[in-house]
């Protein structure tokens, strides 16, 4: 995500993909051939006086509405020219002579001073010319890599006085001028030797580089922090999602259990009701059977002609029937259990609760802070030390989000005991180191340290309190219950309410 490296500078124009010719630099620091920008401008239309950078699309205001007014990039111009000449020298293709009009003969040398390729004949002429005899010539047959000496660039010469080098800088006109132009066009102007101006410009650029160095590291660090933050956001989101899912799984399980309980209760009530009704029906059935049977016997025996037969069973039958009729009279024929089973499922209230159940909010770890106990970074082995953490207002069970760790600073896994107790607007972090050495107490919310955390403290061996010979009670500060002076000059003060002991050394 972070883009810290700039692409290497190439000497080819991004529009025509060739070495720059007459490169111009736009305010966005992208350079293009003059001809390419003119074409680009034509394509974009001449209605307004701005030009869109072909690379970054930044709109550039053209001075006087003309491409010509843009900044000439001599640096790229020279480097491109050098690169293209070098490429030509190293290429295996024949190069025509720049001096001869018919260009029939291939060039054999390159003159670094004239910036020209020369054929064998022109080379000889060159050498016989007094002025040019010292020119540096590079033979084209040596196709190995060549180190080009400084090439004479035309731009270094005056347009009007072509043999005059531009060796002055006019601060008023902001351009290089030749000695001949000085008295004519730049009279009374602020003129300086171009070498000095160049040196100043070089220094200024170096300072700019240095000032960039002050910008990049902190911004890079900020980017790194931001990226870390993005990771943390993703991690925290996952954690919170997990927590929500787990909580609702539990709620669903509780709901399922309640559902089953109610179903079972319904089953039981129904079974009991069925049993009682069935019991009643059993009674009815038994009675009907007995009555039917008795009635049948009575009716059958009453048809018999033999009085002996009739008399033999009459008593039992009548007894039985009378008993049955008696029972029938006592028996309520109405079914006893007339109650109906109902379920009370008042969803309105719980639905409302469910709708409002849970909330997602942001808490600033900095709104939690370890408030007391930080003054003296000392502790004693196996002795509890307490820290008060003030909690932000408006967060329900704010302390429940706190996580504490109390570990040895030396990287060993050894842990001290740490307990966090919620106490209305404060939480108490209680630590008990298990051995001598440096400890680090961390109190965090979802991995973020709260104010005052992490806290380093060094754990000493248990003090010999029996040497507290000089125990006297005197007033040291409000809330101080007891003060004792150790033989080594340390003063111990304990407070009434919270079990804090403060140690003051002699000074
Ligand atoms: Zn171009
Ligand atoms: Zn640009
Ligand atoms: Zn020639
Ligand atoms: Zn020459
Ligand atoms: Zn001039
Ligand atoms: Zn001037």
Would you give per-residue pLDDT tens digits along the chain (507 residues)? 434 455 678 899 999 999 999 999 999 999 999 999 999 988 887 677 889 999 999 999 888 888 888 888 988 988 898 888 888 888 778 888 888 877 678 888 888 888 888 998 888 988 898 888 888 888 887 655 566 666 666 557 887 888 888 899 999 988 889 999 999 889 899 999 999 999 999 999 999 988 888 888 899 999 999 999 999 899 989 999 999 999 999 999 999 999 999 999 999 999 999 998 899 899 999 999 999 999 999 999 999 999 999 999 999 999 999 999 998 998 888 887 778 888 888 888 889 988 988 888 888 888 888 887 777 888 888 888 888 888 888 787 888 888 888 888 887 766 767 777 776 778 888 888 888 888 888 888 888 899 988 888 888 887 655 544 444 444 544 544 455 444 444 555 554 444 455 555 544
Q: How far apart are CA 74 and CA 24, in angstroms?
A: 8
In a domain, 169, yes or no: yes
Going from the Cα of 189 to the center of ligand 6, the distance in angstroms, rounded, reads: 5
Going from the Cα of 95 to the center of ligand 6, the distance in angstroms, rounded, reads: 42
Q: Are residues 397 and 458 in the same domain?
A: yes
Q: Are residues 247 and 206 in the same domain?
A: no
- Which range marks the domain in which residue 9 is found? 1-90
In a domain, 135, yes or no: no
Q: Are residues 438 and 387 in the same domain?
A: yes
Q: Are residues 246 and 297 in the same domain?
A: yes
Q: Are residues 320 and 412 in the same domain?
A: no
Q: Are residues 191 and 293 in the same domain?
A: no
Residue 42 half-sphere exposure toward CB, CA atoms < 13 A: 6
Q: Which residues sit with Cβ closer than 5 angstroms to ligand 4, an ion?
A: 111, 113-114, 132, 135
In a domain, 64, yes or no: yes
Going from the Cα of 87 to the center of ligand 1, the distance in angstroms, rounded, reads: 17
Q: Nearest bound ligand to CA 126?
A: 4
Indicate the residue among 47, 68, 90 that finishes a domain.
90
- Which DSSP string do the residues of 135-158 spell out, in sequence order? --EEESS--S---PPPPPPGGGB-
Going from the Cα of 301 to the center of ligand 2, the distance in angstroms, rounded, reads: 128
Q: How many structural domains comprise the chain?
A: 4
Q: Are residues 480 and 380 in the same domain?
A: yes
Q: What is the CATH number of the domain that holds 59?
A: 3.30.40.10
Going from the Cα of 155 to the center of ligand 5, the distance in angstroms, rounded, reads: 12
> pLDDT at position 193, please?
93
Map tokens 């006893």 to a residue: 336
In a domain, 287, yes or no: yes
> pLDDT at position 251, please?
94
In a domain, 220, yes or no: no
Instruction: Fill in the DSSP letter of residue 21.
Output: S
Going from the Cα of 31 to the center of ligand 2, the distance in angstroms, rounded, reads: 8
Q: First-to-last CA distance in the chain?
A: 54
Q: Nearest bound ligand to CA 111?
A: 4
Indicate the residue among 297, 330, 363 that finishes a domain.
330
> pLDDT at position 25, please?
94
ipTM over cut 0.95: no
Going from the Cα of 38 to the center of ligand 5, the distance in angstroms, rounded, reads: 27
In a domain, 342, yes or no: no
Sign of the Cα pseudo-torsion (139, 143, 144, 147, in order)? positive
Going from the Cα of 177 to the center of ligand 4, the distance in angstroms, rounded, reads: 25
Q: Are residues 382 and 486 in the same domain?
A: yes
Q: What is the CATH number of the domain that holds 162?
A: 3.30.160.60
Indicate the residue among 165, 198, 213 that finishes a domain.
213
Q: Nearest bound ligand to CA 15?
A: 1
Enumerate the H helices of 331-388 as residue ranges: 347-356
- Strand 417-423 versus strand 426-432 pairing type: antiparallel
Q: Are residues 397 and 487 in the same domain?
A: yes
Q: Nearest bound ligand to CA 37?
A: 1
Q: Are residues 317 and 381 in the same domain?
A: no
Candidates 497, 406, 415; CA nearest to 457 is: 406
CA 367 to chain centre: 21
CA Rg, the chain, in Å? 53
Q: Which residues sit with Cβ closer than 5 angstroms to ligand 2, an ion?
A: 28, 30, 53, 55-56, 58
Q: What is the CATH number of the domain that holds 409?
A: 2.60.40.10
In a domain, 364, yes or no: no
In a domain, 45, yes or no: yes
Q: Nearest bound ligand to CA 138?
A: 4
Q: Are residues 206 and 240 in the same domain?
A: no
Q: Are residues 376 and 500 in the same domain?
A: yes
């Amino acid at each position: 995500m972070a883009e810290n490296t700039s692409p290497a500078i190439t000497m080819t124009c991004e529009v025509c993909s060739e070495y720059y010719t007459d490169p111009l630099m736009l305010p966005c620091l992208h350079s293009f051939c003059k001809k390419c920008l003119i074409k680009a401008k034509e394509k974009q239309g001449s209605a307004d006086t701005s030009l869109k950078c072909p690379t970054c699309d930044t709109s550039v205001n053209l001075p006087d509405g003309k491409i010509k007014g843009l900044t000439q990039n001599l640096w790229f111009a020279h480097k491109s020219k050098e690169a293209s000449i070098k490429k030509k020298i190293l290429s295996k293709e024949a190069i025509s002579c720049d001096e001869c009009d018919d260009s029939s003969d291939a060039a054999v040398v390159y003159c670094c001073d004239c910036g020209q390729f020369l054929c064998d004949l022109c080379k000889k002429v060159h050498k016989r010319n007094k002025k040019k005899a010292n020119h540096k010539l590079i033979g084209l047959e040596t196709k190995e890599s060549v180190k080009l000496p400084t090439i004479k660039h035309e731009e270094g010469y005056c347009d009007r006085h072509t043999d005059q080098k531009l060796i002055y800088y006019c601060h008023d006109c902001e351009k290089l001028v030749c000695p001949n132009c000085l008295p004519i066009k730049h009279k009374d102007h602020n003129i300086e030797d171009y070498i000095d101006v160049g040196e100043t410009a070089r220094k200024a650029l170096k300072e700019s580089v240095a000032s960039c160095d002050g910008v990049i590291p902190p911004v890079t660090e900020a980017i790194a922090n931001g990226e870390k933050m993005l990771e943390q956001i993703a991690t925290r989101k996952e954690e919170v999602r997990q927590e929500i899912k787990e909580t609702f799984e539990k709620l669903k399980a509780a709901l399922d259990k309640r559902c089953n309980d109610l179903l079972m209760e319904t089953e039981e009530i129904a079974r009991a009701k069925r049993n009682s009704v069935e019991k009643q029906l059993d009674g009815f059935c038994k009675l009907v059977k007995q009555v039917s049977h008795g009635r049948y016997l009575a009716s059958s025996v009453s048809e018999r002609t033999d009085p002996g037969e009739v008399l033999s069973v009459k008593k039992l039958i009548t007894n039985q029937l009378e008993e049955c009729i008696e029972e029938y009279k006592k028996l309520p024929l109405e079914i006893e259990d007339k109650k109906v089973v109902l379920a009370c499922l008042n969803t309105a209230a719980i639905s409302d609760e469910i709708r409002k159940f849970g909330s997602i909010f942001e808490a600033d770890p900095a709104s939690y802070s370890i408030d007391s106990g930080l003054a003296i970074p000392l502790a004693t082995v196996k002795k509890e030390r307490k820290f008060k953490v003030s909690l932000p207002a408006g967060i329900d069970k704010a302390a429940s989000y706190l996580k504490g760790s109390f570990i040895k600073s030396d990287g060993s896994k050894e842990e001290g005991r740490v307990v966090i107790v919620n106490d209305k607007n404060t939480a108490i972090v209680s630590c008990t180191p298990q051995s001598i050495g440096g400890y680090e107490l961390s109190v965090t919310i979802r991995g973020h340290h709260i104010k005052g955390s992490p806290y380093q403290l060094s754990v000493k061996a248990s003090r010999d309190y029996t040497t507290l010979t000089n125990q006297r009670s005197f007033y040291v500060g409000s809330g101080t219950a007891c003060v004792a002076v150790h033989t080594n000059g340390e003063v111990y003060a304990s407070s009434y309410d919270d079990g804090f002991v403060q140690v003051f050394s002699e000074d």
